[in-house]
Amino acid sequence: MPLQDSEAIVLRTYPLGDADRLVSLITRTQGRLRGVAQGARRPKSRFGAALEPLTYLRLWFYERENRDLVRIRQCEILESFLDLHGDYRSSLVTALAAEITDAVLPEREPQDAAFRLLLHVARGLRETRQASLALGYFLVWTIRLAGWLPDLDRCSSCGRFVTQAPHGPSVASSAGPEPLYWSLSQPGLHCANCRRPGMRTLSTEALAAARRMLAAPLHQLALDANSPRVSPEFEAYFLDMIEHHIERHLASRRIYEESR
């Protein structure tokens, strides 16, 4: 089997046998894949610190006949995010973003936008250390790229706009006068008139924050003196939606929520 190479970002690693590591990565050419790094847990492994979560690297690997796992031959670090692990909240966001990417992306399908999003968020987090903002941005975009994001400007039941003018130029950035309501058992976001019992609220502030995140890069939002505020209610909506679609709980979520 020929040696292949691709840019890649490490998502997660697991011990395998006595000395190896099982590595989950997102690669540019093949999307998410899993591979074995032989000897990676030995003290003088040739992989060094390359297999830490979110490390951006060039990866050389072999396909193995009739096996799902590739064999990782070599890595070269292009950009390390090791310093994020020294900051507790940043390290939790890193873990959550890696776990979500690992859970949401199908195996072996190139997903360039998801690749660029993860790199964008890791760089933004390193630059700004605004952990909540970086996580909020990552969540909104992950859900949008997965095709799960409902219309943030109008009611999914009756179609009524909750922002001021349906065709006005200010719609995208408008805070909108009304909150919307949601429940995982019913897709979309719903206005006060269409709200059903048991639905939870997504406030005007949370909706405005999400709209702004869809319209500007993370570092630009972070520099803004009035940067979007990511509330627990905002995070709960997007994290619940991800868990609903992947049909399981995110292990890193609880640790992150306890760190508030």
Output the smallest distance, CB 148 to Zn ion, in A. Answer: 20
Output the smallest distance, CB 195 to Zn ion, in A. Answer: 8
Q: What are the helix (H) ranges across the chain?
A: 88-104, 112-128, 131-146, 204-213, 218-223, 232-246, 251-258
For Zn ion, the binding residue among 114, 194, 210, 241 (CB under 5 A) is 194
Output the smallest distance, CB 201 to Zn ion, in A. Answer: 14
Region near Zn ion per CB under 5 A, out of 21-29, 40-48, 189-197, 209-217: 189-197
Could you give phi then psi for residue 39, rounded to 5 degrees? 75, 10
The one-letter code for the residue type at 22 is L
Start-to-end C-alpha separation, the chain = 49
Which among 247, 257, 173, 252 has a CA at the least distance from the CA of 210? 173
Binding to Zn ion (CB under 5 A) within 152-171 occurs at 155, 157-158
Q: Considering the complex, state which of residue 195 and residue 253 has its C-beta at the smaller distance from Zn ion.
A: 195
Site string for Zn ion, 235-254 (x = CB under 5 A): --------------------
Compute, in degrees rounded to 10, the torsion defined by CA atoms 115, 120, 123, 126.
-110
How many residues make contact with Zn ion (CB under 5 A)?
A: 6
Q: Considering the complex, state which of residue 32 and residue 154 has its C-beta at the smaller distance from Zn ion.
A: 154
Cα 152 to Cα 67, 99, 142, distances in angstroms: 43, 26, 15
Output the smallest distance, CB 156 to Zn ion, in A. Answer: 8
Could you tell me which residues come within 8 angstroms of residue 105 by beta carbon, excluding any fewer than 6 positions away?
Answer: 26, 31, 32, 111, 114
Region near Zn ion per CB under 5 A, out of 70-78, 126-134, 147-155, 202-210: 147-155
Q: Considering the complex, state which of residue 193 and residue 220 has its C-beta at the smaller distance from Zn ion.
A: 193
Output the smallest distance, CB 146 to Zn ion, in A. Answer: 24
Q: Considering the complex, state which of residue 156 and residue 231 has its C-beta at the smaller distance from Zn ion.
A: 156
Based on the shown chain and the rule CB under 5 A, indicate whether residue 191 belongs to the binding site for Zn ion: yes
Tokens of 34: 């899993």
Contact call for residues 228 and 204 (beta carbons, < 8 A): no
Output the smallest distance, CB 92 to Zn ion, in A. Answer: 37
Cα 52 to Cα 25, 35, 105, 111, distances in angstroms: 11, 14, 20, 21
Which among 115, 173, 180 has a CA at the least distance from the CA of 150? 180
Q: Considering the complex, state which of residue 141 and residue 182 has its C-beta at the smaller distance from Zn ion.
A: 182
Based on the shown chain and the rule CB under 5 A, indicate whether residue 230 belongs to the binding site for Zn ion: no
Q: Considering the complex, state which of residue 66 and residue 185 has its C-beta at the smaller distance from Zn ion.
A: 185
Output the smallest distance, CB 207 to Zn ion, in A. Answer: 14
Q: Considering the complex, state which of residue 170 and residue 193 has its C-beta at the smaller distance from Zn ion.
A: 193
Could you tell me which residues come within 8 angstroms of residue 77 by beta carbon, excluding any fewer than 6 positions away?
Answer: 48, 49, 50, 55, 56, 57
Residue numbers at the binding site for Zn ion (CB under 5 A): 155, 157-158, 191, 193-194
